[in-house]
Amino acid sequence: MASLLNIEEPPRPAPKGFALFALGFRPFYLLASIFAALSIPLWALQFGGHLAHPYLTGPVWHAHEMLFGFTLAVIVGFLFTAGRNWTNLPTPAGGPLVALAALWIAARVLVLTPYAWAAAAANVAFPLAAAAALAVPFFKARNKRNYFFVGLLILMACAAGFVHLSQLGIVPMPAWPALQAALDVVLFILVVMGGRVIPMFTNNGVPGTNATKQPVVEKAALGSVIAVLVADVLGLTGVPLAILAWLAAVAHARRLSLWRPWKTVRVPLVWVLHAAYAWVPMHLLLRGLAELGLVVPSLATHALTVGAAGGLIIGMMTRTARGHTGRPLLADRYETACYLLVLMAALVRVGVPLLMPALTVAAVLGSAALWSAAFGLYAIRYWPVLSRPRIDGRPG
């Protein structure tokens, strides 16, 4: 077992040149990992009362930046990369990709300043620009199967706009409904992409696993998440929403069981995706309990954001970065450490407050340290991978 957790690729000559803007995953994976490592300690300082921000503050800043900063950057980087494969047409690279990365950085900086309208404009413009950049190859190639990703990015822009209008006092409503809708959109993206890639990666990476999909389960899993999103947009609460969430939890638990996660424990590059996906039904279970007042809502939120999103993101950022730079699809001890740190962060952030509420502050600080260590290690480890050309000499 130990040898499987310490797989080292054979030494290769380091590729020369600078390729950070050759394909979408490169700058956005690096920016997202650096931001994830730095922003969570800032939030921990805010949570402890040691730091104040002049515009977005407290939980609103934290939720906004994890959704529209970190998570959205990874989604855009992944979609730009996958979109090129889906359509055989170019997605942003070079100058246009530099401009999009600069817009993302500007949005992250502006929310820390008093320039509220500029922050709002930048945070709405980024997902709209990404949607437009994806729409061009999708529509040219008539890639109808993936048109909905353009719509989802537009929904994220609308949610970001609502949050800022609420903070500016233009909309006399709290920001949370828009943040919850954005969380639901992220959940839908995760379960769509998880359903596409996890069974495939499982069967490729662990021969004989026979991960399968059943049409009825697929429709129930995706449809139930859409139902939860619609319910949140319509303001449905209480028992009806709890029942919807629990039905969705059952569908996703069944979906995961069909992928045979217990057969993947010897392959870190695969088991991390299964372990992360297990947080989806956990999120939905806790969401239902929160609607009945049995647990605090933040536990459900962090089961999704730290456990499901964080785990799937770290797993996909390592796998796709390796695959698209010509490296072997094997996780070494550094990557396995990243996986374990993120999953431990989720367990601490959700499990400790659930079982021992008096230790919530300690759990938040401990989880923040684990999360920052995971993504900081990724940024250090993958800076040369993401910034240099492919080792096999191919473009991208």
| Domain spans, the chain | 20-174, 195-389
Confidence of residue 48 (pLDDT cuts 50, 70, 90): low
Residue 342 contacts by C-beta under 8 Å, 6 or more apart in sequence?
306, 310, 311, 314, 370, 371, 374, 375
Structural contact between residues 3 and 291, judged by C-beta atoms closer than 8 angstroms: no
Residue 341 pLDDT: 97
pLDDT at 112: 84
What are 161-183's pLDDT values in tens digits? 999 999 888 988 888 888 999 99
Query: Contacts for 362-369 with beta carbons within 8 Å, 24 or more apart?
Result: 364/44, 364/47, 365/44, 365/47, 365/48, 367/302, 367/306, 368/40, 368/41, 368/43, 368/44
Q: For position 8, what pLDDT does the model report?
A: 47
Give the DSSP letter string of 262-298.
GG-TT-HHHHHHHHHHTHHHHHHHHHHHHHTTSS-HH
pLDDT in tens, 308-365: 999 999 999 999 999 999 999 889 999 999 999 999 999 999 999 999 999 998 999 8
pLDDT surpassing 70 at residue 5: no
The dihedral region occupied by 169, where left means phi > 0, alpha psi between -120 and 50, and beta the remainder, is left
**pLDDT higher than threshold 60 for residue 92:** yes
